[in-house]
Amino acid sequence: MSTDIQTLKLLDFFADLNFGELEQMAPLMHLMKVTEGEVLTRKGEPARTFFIILSGNFMLSFKEERSFTLHNKGNIIGWSTVVTPFQYTGTAIALTDGLVLSMPGQEFLRLIQSNSALGDKIMRKINKIVSERMPYVTGTWGKGGTNCLALKL
Amino acid sequence: MFGFEAIIAHDGLGISVIGISIVFVSLILLSLAVSQVHKLIGLWDKRNTYYQRLKKPQKRGDQKIPSDMPVPQDIRRASRQFKLLIEWIGEPFPLPKLLDLSEKCGLSSPHSTINEFIKCKLIIPDDNGYYMWNKQIEEKRSNA
Amino acid sequence: MEDLLIEFLSNTGFALVDYRNIIMLLVGIIIIYLGVAKQYEPLLLVPIGFGILIGNIPVFKDFGLGIYESGSFLNYVYYGVTHDIYPPLIFLGIGALTDFSTMLARPVLMLLGAAAQIGIFTTFLGALAIGFPPNEAASIGIIGGADGPTAIFLTAMLAPRLIGPIAVAAYSYMALVPVIQPPIMRLLTTRKERLIKMEEPREVSKREKIIFPIVGFLLCCFLAPAALPLLGMLFFGNLLKECVVVERLARTARTSLIDIVTILLGVTVGASTQADVFLTRQSIGIFTLGAFSFAIATASGVIFAKIMNLFLRKKINPLIGAAGVSAVPNSARVVQMVGQAEDPTNFLLMHAMAPNISGVIGSAIAAAILWSFMSL
């Protein structure tokens, strides 16, 4: 079941998108129920799906079992769908039942590659999230840690 | 007329120099104006900015361990069991390891229980990707 | 009856055709092919190509069919070109489509858009040197702005008979940006410079995006009032987009309106491209100078970026200077491509959009200045 534009507009991830861009995103997104304990992504596996949390609580774990939890509507999981090498860098598990929006990674990537204005907005959001989460991914903490993002556009 | 003769006759150099100068001046002034707009908006929103800073997570090392969160009764029961597991793992502990161990020990609904602990601040992050048991909350509970 | 038949046949295209019509029809077909099969700027080249076919069908003069004949359908539609109605409307759509936030995030990158306009004035001098009169030289120079509507806007004012070849040259070279720019960019930069990673731009607030078109419009038009039609519409379109409360108008501007105007502009510009103007030595000069202007614009942007790096603490990747050539978003994509060829982890696209967009503003200002000078 695809998602309506109003739902997307309320999410911080899509806050900068205009109506036309949301119209392009909406058909790709599908509502998905998750149950407690369900694994959404596994570290190292091909990143095929991008998720946005609508409700529920999730744990993301990375290298050396470092982890953090996500509790807020609009948090994203699966940025590796648009970042090479397109493999999940962490394992995402639902701590409680919830609802997420899922989007096929290939379609998402194709959309942002075909529309540079939309792609810029999305990648800016993703870059910000990646830079916040990168210490967990690389296991390096402190200023000046290099983040090797390989973006293919 | 061709070549430099034509350029001079039609004042080409003058037009070009003045023209490109005006383009540069316009865009320089525009960039200066734009660079100040966000600062002016920031000044206008100053109290909002401070409020947002308070809401943001505190920096590593400055973290105050909250000790005034109420702990529901059923969570208190589960907390004893999880506390034993945490003591076994050692602190700071990886959250996935706690989850894994609690599943192996057959504790019921370990995922949602851990989530409740996090919400009640019984388990708190150490900003290095690991977690700790919040002794202050526990002491407050036992003193109550 | 025989006489009637002979008279009819003598008015058909077969009787009136000469070799120049055939050549122009072939040119039209080639342009359609480039647009459809090669996908070179199809939104403009297909209407222009078909317009060339329409305009070069041999017809009996005074039938009221030709584009230059008063009262003909084409003549009425062409009014929008000759009286500079269509280009500002296209700029309205461009403003409603474009996100200015990358430019607002790091305003200093606007100067790269200014630097790229050196190509316009250098080509203006070159055109004067090879014998074009000043008004035609200015129209040829504006090709270096890599902005089709601006080129048509200025040419309609200064040298309306050259609209056809200049429009074809401008759009063809815009489509060839991925071919023209990379060698120049590589030649003018070292590997170390191409590997520079730029700092992520700051978040731009909604209020900034709303305030900018108003401030930008007032500032630019006070400095260059002749830019009013183009920049007025560009900033108006952007305000419609950013203020959100008139989303319907913004959507119309960036979809139906821009499409309608593009069709009418393309067809009539094509139809106005006739053999007596296109099949001349002048056209060779126009095409040659057009390529020259693109090259100079690219080089100017890159070199200016290198000069800026001497003074900036946070270095910029000089490749983004090439995006000052306002072929939005092609030249920004070329920068991304060239940058990624050196380092696949270097994401330059969003940084390159800043000079790309300021190049649009810069080329409109340059056109206004040339128009002002030529009108003096």
Identity of the residue in B13, B16, B33 whose CB atom sits nearest the CB atom of C219: B33
Q: Which of B4, B13, B30, B44 to mutate to probe the C interface, most C CBs <10 Å?
A: B30
Q: What angle do CA C75, C79, C80 make, to 5 degrees?
A: 135
Structure confidence by residue, pLDDT tens digits, C103-147: 998 999 999 999 999 999 999 999 999 999 999 999 999 998 888
Q: Please determine, for residue C334, whether its predicted confidence score (pLDDT) is greater than 50.
A: yes
More confident residue, C62 or A102: A102
The predicted structure's pLDDT at residue A143: 42
In whole angstroms, how large is the CA radius of gyration of chain B? 32
In a domain, C12, yes or no: no
User: pTM for the complete prediction?
Assistant: 0.63
- CA separation for the pair A78, C295 (Å, rounded): 42
In a domain, C323, yes or no: yes
Question: Which residues of chain B have a Cβ shorter than 8 Å from any chain A Cβ?
Answer: 94-97, 99, 109, 111-112, 114-115, 118-119, 125, 128-131
Measure Cα distances from C227 to C146, C224, C234, C367 in Å. Answer: 17, 6, 10, 7
In a domain, C337, yes or no: yes
Q: How many domains are contained in chain C?
A: 1
Mean pLDDT of chain A: 83
In a domain, C160, yes or no: yes
Chain-chain contact of B16 with C220 (C-beta, under 8 angstroms) = no
Q: How far is B33 from chain C (nearest CA, A)?
A: 8
- CA separation for the pair B131, A68 (Å, rounded): 9
Q: How far is C78 from chain A (nearest CA, A)?
A: 31
Check if the beta carbon of residue A25 is closer than 8 Å to that of residue A7: no
Q: How far is C211 from chain B (nearest CA, A)?
A: 8
Q: How confident is the model at residue C71 (pLDDT cuts 50, 70, 90)?
A: confident
Chain-chain contact of B94 with A61 (C-beta, under 8 angstroms) = yes
- CA separation for the pair C157, C139 (Å, rounded): 9
In a domain, C50, yes or no: no
The predicted structure's pLDDT at residue C256: 93
C69 in contact with chain B, both atoms CB, cutoff 8 A = no
The predicted structure's pLDDT at residue A149: 29
Q: Which residue of B has its CA nearest to A138?
A: B129
| Amino acid, single-letter form, for residue B18 | I
Residue B10 dihedral angles phi and psi, to the nearest 5° = -100, 10
Q: Which of B38, A20, A9, B118 is nearest to C211 (CA)?
A: B38
Tokens, residue C96: 């409603």
Chain-chain contact of B112 with A91 (C-beta, under 8 angstroms) = no
In a domain, C311, yes or no: yes
DSSP per-residue codes, B57-72? PPPTT-PPPP------
In a domain, C148, yes or no: yes
More confident residue, C47 or C174: C47
Q: Which residue of A has its CA nearest to B114?
A: A95
Q: Which residues of C touch A123 (CB under 8 A)?
A: 347, 349-350
Identity of the residue in C98, C251, C350 whose CB atom sits nearest the CB atom of A20: C251
Chain-chain contact of B26 with C365 (C-beta, under 8 angstroms) = yes
Q: What angle do CA A138, B100, B87 make, to 5 degrees?
A: 90
Chain-chain contact of C110 with B41 (C-beta, under 8 angstroms) = no
Measure Cα distances from B49 to A11, A21, B52, B53, C151 in Å. Answer: 21, 30, 5, 6, 45
Q: Which residue of C has its CA nearest to A152?
A: C344
- CA separation for the pair B56, C326 (Å, rounded): 40
- CA separation for the pair C167, C144 (Å, rounded): 12
Q: Which residue of C has its CA nearest to A122?
A: C350
The predicted structure's pLDDT at residue C90: 93
- CA separation for the pair C38, C51 (Å, rounded): 19
The answer to whether the complex's ipTM is over 0.85 is yes
- CA separation for the pair A56, A40 (Å, rounded): 13
Bridge partners, residue A100, by sequence: A32, A53
C372 in contact with chain B, both atoms CB, cutoff 8 A = no
Q: How many CB atoms lie within 10 A of CB C6?
A: 11
C352 in contact with chain A, both atoms CB, cutoff 8 A = no
Q: Which of A95, A90, A38, A69 is nearest to B130 (CA)?
A: A69
Q: Which of A46, A40, A14, A34 is nearest to A111 (CA)?
A: A14
The predicted structure's pLDDT at residue B144: 53
Q: How far is CA A64 from the centre of its chain?
A: 21
Q: Which residues of B touch A94 (CB under 8 A)?
A: 111
- CA separation for the pair C100, C213 (Å, rounded): 9
What is the mean pLDDT of the segment spanning C262-291?
Answer: 88
Q: In B, residues 1-20, which contact C (CB 8 Å cutoff)?
A: 1-4, 6-7, 10, 12-13, 15-16, 18-20
Structure confidence by residue, pLDDT tens digits, C280-309: 888 888 989 999 999 999 999 999 999 999
Q: Which of C335, C294, C295 is nearest to C102 (CA)?
A: C335
Bridge partners, residue A59, by sequence: A69, A93
A151 in contact with chain C, both atoms CB, cutoff 8 A = yes
Tokens, residue C192: 């170390």
Identity of the residue in B22, B33, B35 whose CB atom sits nearest the CB atom of C224: B22
What is the mean pLDDT of the segment spanning A7-33?
Answer: 86
Q: Which of C184, C186, C250 is nearest to C213 (CA)?
A: C250
Which is it for the CA torsion A119, A122, A125, A131, positive or negative? Answer: negative
Q: Which of B97, B113, B115, B121 to mutate to probe the A interface, most A CBs <10 Å?
A: B115
Structure confidence by residue, pLDDT tens digits, C217-226: 999 999 889 9
Grouped pLDDT means (10 residues each) for chain B, 144 residues: 88 93 94 90 72 60 50 71 87 90 87 90 88 79 59
- CA separation for the pair C154, C163 (Å, rounded): 9
Chain-chain contact of A95 with B128 (C-beta, under 8 angstroms) = no
Q: In C, residues 233-272, which contact A (CB 8 Å cutoff)?
A: 241, 244, 247, 250-251, 254-255
Strand arrangement of the beta sheet that strand A58-61 belongs to: A39-41, A91-94, A58-61, A67-70
* Cis status of the peptide bond prior to C329, with omega within 30 of 0: yes
Chain-chain contact of C350 with A123 (C-beta, under 8 angstroms) = yes
* Cα pseudo-dihedral B100, B103, B105, B109, rounded to 10: 140
Q: For residue C156, what are the domain limits?
A: 70-375
In a domain, C31, yes or no: no
A150 in contact with chain C, both atoms CB, cutoff 8 A = yes
Helix or strand holding residue C8 (H, E): helix C2-10
Chain-chain contact of B111 with A135 (C-beta, under 8 angstroms) = no
Q: Which of B26, B37, B41 to mutate to probe the C interface, most C CBs <10 Å?
A: B26
Strand, coil or helix: A20: helix
Q: Which residue has the tokens 């002034």?
A: B29
Half-sphere exposure at residue A146, Cβ-oriented, CA atoms within 13 angstroms = 5
Check if the beta carbon of residue A47 is closer than 8 Å to that of residue A88: yes
- CA separation for the pair C236, C359 (Å, rounded): 18
Which is it for the CA torsion C180, C186, C188, C189, positive or negative? Answer: positive
Bridge partners, residue A67, by sequence: A61
Chain-chain contact of B25 with C223 (C-beta, under 8 angstroms) = yes
- CA separation for the pair C251, A83 (Å, rounded): 31
What is the mean pLDDT of the segment spanning C187-206?
Answer: 87
Q: How far is C65 from chain B (nearest CA, A)?
A: 39
* Chains contacting chain A through 3 or more C-beta pairs under 8 A: B, C
DSSP C143: G
Check if the beta carbon of residue A13 is closer than 8 Å to that of residue A52: yes
DSSP per-residue codes, C304-353? HHHHHHTT-SS---GGGGGGGS--TTHHHHHHHHHHHHH-TT---HHHHH
Q: Which residues of A touch C200 (CB under 8 A)?
A: 124, 127-128, 131
Chain-chain contact of B22 with C117 (C-beta, under 8 angstroms) = no
- CA separation for the pair C81, C156 (Å, rounded): 7
Q: At what angle do helices C330-342 and C177-188 cross, to 10 degrees?
A: 50
Tokens, residue B1: 């007329």
Q: How far is A126 from chain C (nearest CA, A)?
A: 12
The predicted structure's pLDDT at residue C175: 81
Q: Which residues of C touch A117 (CB under 8 A)?
A: 97-99, 329
Q: Which residue has the tokens 């006489």?
A: C3
Tokens, residue B115: 């989530």
* Cα pseudo-dihedral C352, C170, C86, C239, rounded to 10: 10
Q: Which residues of B touch A53 (CB under 8 A)?
A: none
Contacts of C102 (CB under 8 A, 6+ apart): A120, C201, C350, C351, C353, C354, C357
